[in-house]
Structure 1
Amino acid sequence: MAGQKQTTLIDRVEFQGLGVHSGAPVRIILHPADSDTGITFLRTRLDGGRERLIEAKHSAVSATELCTIIGDAASGAVATIEHLMAALSGLGVDNVMVEIDGPEVPIMDGSAAAFVDGIDQVGVTRLSANRRYIKILKPVRVEQGRAFSELRPFARGFRLEVEIDFDTPLIGRQKRVLDLEPSTFRRDVARARTFGFMRDVERLWKAGFALGASLDNTVALGDDGVINPEGLRYADEFVRHKTLDAVGDLSLAGAPILGQYRSYCGGHRMNIAVLQALFADRSAYAIVESGRRESGHAEAGAARPALAFAAETH
């Protein structure tokens, strides 16, 4: 990490689409941003013409059921941020303001591919400030039943080991190991789509979820197999998408992680829970700056002790 500088976009880039849960049309614009501003969301078109700025950090997360939501319904929130956040983190973009005129980031094709393409189209530039990292100093783990998520020290960058285990032969047990770099992110996980079971559709609709889901943005599983005519993009697309989600959720640490992440039957809730557990223990991490020696422990954001969350099945 020696000598690495913070980055932002060279120019703004725009995306339009539907929210997978809300079904609402939405436009987002990614704007270049200054050093040390991180990723922020500017939620526009709120009641009364209001706008609200929300930092993309774990301390701003208000819900994790089927997606990750920052902010709150009363003053303004943004849902389903994980694929966009994964694209920014996977491509090493540190500072961006995301202007969004609706309650949910557009699902696009269900993966991070469209966001990656848009970022590549405008390009990434270095800024003058050194990049800061969150270095894991000792293991931190959260559990619920058979499921767990943990962060551990690791000598070489950021490694994710994600394992899923579904009680259906259509998915079964799958594991993926990813050393996060722009090249591996593009190749191995960026195109992996979200997925769901047809048997759950009516229940999700009644609960207000998946109102914008379709075969254009979701891998749909029926009783006998994948319903999408084109099939899967990868033989293990399911665990690759869970890895994509983990990259996005863990970027809410507020800086790139130097460490190893491991999970078994995890999901959005446990991804955020392990960040909460990490920042609740100031001896578990240090803030380090590229080109400098470690300066000791520091708080990277408000946090509370981790709780036991049920594992997700999405």
Structure 2
Amino acid sequence: MSFQTTIARRVDYDGVGLHSGVMVHLSLMPAPVDAGIVFVRRDLAGGPRIRAAAPHVTSTVRATTLAEGGVRVFTVEHLMSALAAFGIDNCFVEMDAEEPPVADGSALVFFTLLKEAGKVQQEKERREIIIDRVYRIDDGDRFLIAVPYGEGLRVSFTSLNEHALVGTQYRDFILRGDAYEKEIAPARTIAYEGEVDALKKAGLGLGGTLENVIVYNDERWLNALRFPDELVRHKILDLIGDIRLAGFVRGHIIAVKSGHALNTQLAKALYAAFESSAG
């Protein structure tokens, strides 16, 4: 039996949003049982709240966006990934803008903040989503499959990229022990240099720099990699964050060329199935 958890104390972090380019102050705060992960927009009158749940996903263009009551937050996947890996059920995420800080483009800063905050067990059992059948989401040559798997969450991800610098990357990862902190959390967002101008014209990536995004062009990487297969590790990081929008999932997720759109489609399917069975 697993019990719900929250963080032991408030922690704060300041930084710029990856896509908005806007400075933001982030506070992670303890929350009561059954609160879930809740984003609080302190920059808006009344501090409206957006619950981090799969039905609230409204966009997956280059990031995962959540909206509730006409208020949104976006690029939540890195923070959600760290919260999932650290095992936090309930947390208030207060922000004075609509996008969390990008930090260094990974989830490591958030995971370190959570370690500083500490974790406390609460007096109510955690409801887990236990995969007991096969779920499949397809989009042409991209797909996600969720199948039963013993204990915890396992992700097997294949990334296929025609660029010679990237190529085919595969990683199989089990979310346990300190593996996430060492092997997944440090993996950063990656971009192709030829796409940067188009992204900025579309109002995306306005806060991106070589300090928080790994960039490659037709000839070389413009900054040093932390891992030879950093791209697929970051894909797993994103997937863990997106799937957390369904709840705590126990199962094996097999992904080929997946991104936020497929990730959140699976999260919505799992969330709906779980809510139906729980009701």
TM value normalised by structure 1: 0.86
Preserved contact between residue 52 and residue 75 of structure 1 (Cα < 8 Å): no
Contact 2:129 2:270 in 1 (8 A): no
> Is the Cα–Cα contact under 8 Å of residues 196 and 218 in structure 1 kept in the other structure?
yes
* Secondary structure in 1 matching 2:278: coil
**1:120 paired residue among 110, 115, 124:** 115
Deviations 1:108-140 (A, max 9, x none): 000011111111112111111112100111111
Percent of aligned pairs sharing the same letter: 35
- State the AA in 1 paired with 2:57: V
Contact 1:41–1:97 at 8 Å: present in 2 too? yes
State the Cα distance separating 1:156 from its structure 2 match: 2.3
Selected match of 1:260 from 242, 252, 269: 252
- Deviation per CA, 1:188-232, whole angstroms, max 9, x where unpaired? 10000001011001110111101110001000112212101xx10
Q: Secondary structure at the match of 1:119?
A: helix
Structure 2 counterpart of 1:63: 59
Aligned to 1:146: 141
Structure 1, unmatched stretches of 5+, are: 288-295, 300-314
Q: Letter of the 1:191 partner, please give it.
A: P
For residue 135 of structure 1, what is the aligned residue in structure 2?
130
The residue identity in structure 1 corresponding to 2:235 is K
* CA distance in 1: counterparts of 2:213 and 2:120, whole angstroms: 33
Aligned-pair CA distance for 1:297: 2.1
> How many angstroms apart in 2 are the aligned matches of 1:97 and 1:276?
22
3-state SS, counterpart of residue 234 of structure 1: coil
In the aligned structure 2, how far is the partner of 1:53 from the partner of 1:116? 23
Please name the residue that 1:303 is paired with.
Answer: none
**How far is the alpha carbon of 1:150 from its aligned partner?**
1.6
Cα distance between partner residues in 1 of 2:232 and 2:18: 20
Q: Does 1:158 align with 2:153?
A: yes
Q: Secondary structure at the match of 1:252?
A: coil
- The secondary structure found in structure 1 opposite 2:103 is coil
The aligned residue for residue 310 of structure 1 is none
Aligned pairs (5 A) from 1:214-293:
214-228=209-223, 231-253=224-246, 255-280=247-272, 282=273
What's the CA shift for 1:276?
2.4
Cα distance in 1 between the residues matched to 2:110 and 2:153: 21
Aligned equivalents of 1:11, 1:275: Cα separation in 2: 29
- On the 8 A contact 2:244/2:267 being kept in 1, the answer is no
RMSD: 1.5
Q: Distance in 2 between matches of 1:71 and 1:82?
A: 14
Query: Is 1:109 the counterpart of 2:104 in the alignment?
Result: yes
| 1:169 CA displacement | 1.0
The residue identity in structure 2 corresponding to 1:62 is T
Give the distance between the partners of 1:167 and 1:37, measured in 2 at CA.
Answer: 43
1:291 aligns with none
**Aligned partner letter, 1:185:** Y
> Could you tell me which amino acid in structure 2 is paired with residue 24 of structure 1?
V
1:238, distance to aligned residue in structure 2 (A): 0.5
Q: Which residue of structure 1 aligns with residue 278 of structure 2?
A: 298
Name the CA distance, whole Å, in 1 between partners of 2:91 and 2:177.
17
The alignment partner of 1:85 has SS state of: helix
Letter in 1 for 2:165: L
Return closer, same or farther for 1:265/1:36 CA change in 2, 3 Å cut-off: same
Task: Tell me the alpha carbon deviations over residues 66-115 of structure 1, each in whole angstroms, 9 at most, x when there is no partner.
Answer: 0001016x832111000000001001111100001101111000001111
1-side partners of 2:114 and 2:126: how far apart?
19
Cα distance in 2 for partners of 1:159, 1:52 equals: 34
* Match status 1:6 vs 2:37: no
Query: Residue 142 of structure 1 contacts residue 277 of structure 1 at CA under 8 Å; is this kept in 2?
Result: no
Q: Tell me, what secondary structure is at the counterpart of 1:164?
A: strand
Query: Which residue identity is paired with 1:297?
Result: S
Task: State the alpha-carbon separation in 1 of the partners of residues 138 and 269 from structure 2.
Answer: 11
Aligned 8 A contact 2:242 2:267 in 1: no
CA contact (8 A) 1:196 1:219 kept: yes
Report the alpha carbon displacement of residue 50 of structure 1 after superposing the two structures with TM.
Answer: 4.0
Alpha-carbon shift at residue 39 of structure 1 (Å): 0.5
CA contact (8 A) 1:111 1:192 kept: yes
The answer for the alignment partner of 1:181 in structure 2 is: 176
Q: State the TM-score, normalized to the length of structure 2.
A: 0.96
Equivalent residue, structure 2, for 1:306: none
Residues of 2 paired with 1:99 and 1:278: CA distance? 27
Shift in Å at residue 275 of structure 1?
2.0
Q: Distance in 1 between matches of 2:195 and 2:177?
A: 34
